[in-house]
Amino acid sequence: MPILLGGGIPFLPAPAPRAHLALRARRAYPTSGIVMLEYDVRAGAEGSDAAPE
């Protein structure tokens, strides 16, 4: 099954090099079940195969 995020067969072609992300904040809305995630792009890791920090 194609996926949008994570590993596996990509659903869409990559429009740009992959960026390494770090989770900055998260918020869950219990009434709706929606989860909001906010990420930062790791400095110097955009488009590279740098090891995770």
Give CA angle at 16 (8, 13), nearest 5°. 45
pLDDT digits (tens, 9 = 90+) for 1-53: 555 566 677 667 767 777 888 999 999 999 999 999 999 988 765 454 444 44
Q: Would you tell me how many other CB atoms lie within 10 Å of the CB of residue 39?
A: 13
- What's the pLDDT at 2? 52
The amino acid sitting at 41 is: V
Measured in whole angstroms, how far is the alpha carbon of residue 15 from the centre of its chain?
A: 14
CA–CA separation, 17 and 31 (whole Å): 36
Predicted pLDDT at 1: 53
What does the domain layout of the chain look like in residue ranges?
18-47
Tokens (6 digits) for 4: 């949008």
